[in-house]
Amino acid sequence: MLLLDGKALAATIKEEIAEDVRRFTGEGNRPPHLVAVLVGDDGASQTYVGNKVRSCEQVGFRSTLHRLPAETSQEELMALVAELNADAEVDGYIVQLPLPGHLDEEAVTLAIAPAKDVDGFHPTNIGRMTLGLPAYLPATPNGIMRILDRYGVETSGKHCVVIGRSNIVGTPMSILLSRNANPGNCTVTLTHSRTKNLAELCRQADIIVAALGRPAFLTADMVREGAVVIDVGITRVEDASRKRGYRLQGDVDFESVAAKCAAITPVPGGVGPMTVVSLLLNTFDAARRQQATARV
């Protein structure tokens, strides 16, 4: 069994990015600048945003974190979005989701300028991705594509079962895997809570992407001998033996599935670190575009 080590791969790619940043700034450009907006005090969101900001520092990007209280109004958040859209010093920005319940996530996503939407959540970027045009690709599916690419996992002609149809992971994953590219050219089955015979479909898969958010859902009996398994889940489950009182559990029952499959991503240290790398790459693209435009 091959461990698809996203943490090690992310470290390698970050070194490559850092080198590119040195060249970029050496040519007289300012460093790429990512802004993150965090509303409220959700524990997992704080961890994710913290990782994003720290990763910026590691590669020589500038980063700014806007921490807003949970009671922030829609108007206040929309005003910040408008400000960030207009700020030529900001190459790309993200508004961390989920937002507190009283805020309208759709309205916020639609208000982000597509050229600065480094999460790739705006309909313009999703539409462009779907058409195979240059676009900011959503971080998690793009991180998975990079894992498949760098580890040389053959995708062409393979049957891939994606479990979960979220806008952020499952649906864009199915599009990227099925398009005519390398990696890509998979035959994709996109499954969800209404899918019948899920276990049977999974057993037919060469590649399984588990992205439904149910801890240890995918068990060995659902996996064909020699399959490649990608685990997107990252749920905090109570664990009294840990100092912080919880551990991170993927959607895959790692121990049993690892014994059977050809390759697998661990949790933590698999898809998560590559998600951050994708965000850095999108931000670098945004900076290249923004600064090339500023010069003409």
When the beta carbons of 117 and 206 are compared against ligand GUN, the nearer one is 117
Q: If binding is defined by CB under 6 A, does position 139 make contact with ligand GUN? A: yes
CA distances from 137 to 7, 64, 122, 198, 250 (A): 20, 22, 10, 28, 23
Q: Is 249 a catalytic residue?
A: no
Q: If binding is defined by CB under 6 A, does position 230 make contact with ligand GUN? A: no
Q: Residue 64 Cβ, how far from ligand GUN at the closest point, in Å?
A: 15
Residue nearest to ligand GUN as judged by C-beta position: 97
Rounded to an integer, what distance in angstroms lies between the CA atom of residue 51 and that of residue 55? 6
Q: Would you tell me how many other CB atoms lie within 10 Å of the CB of residue 16?
A: 12
Among 216, 237, 218, 215, which Cα is nearest to 229's?
218
When the beta carbons of 139 and 252 are compared against ligand GUN, the nearer one is 139
Q: What angle do CA 219, 224, 229 make, to 5 degrees?
A: 65
Rounded to an integer, what distance in angstroms lies between the CA atom of residue 296 and that of residue 292? 7
Q: Is 52 a catalytic residue?
A: yes
Choose one: 92-100, 150-158, 159-167, 219-227; the region binding ligand GUN (CB under 6 A): 92-100
x/- letters, 104..123, toward ligand GUN (CB under 6 A)? ---------------x----
91, 119, 231, 285: the catalytic one is: 119
Tokens 């209280």 label which residue?
69
Q: Is 116 a catalytic residue?
A: no
Site residues for ligand GUN per CB under 6 A: 94-97, 119, 139, 168
Report the catalytic residues: 52, 96, 119
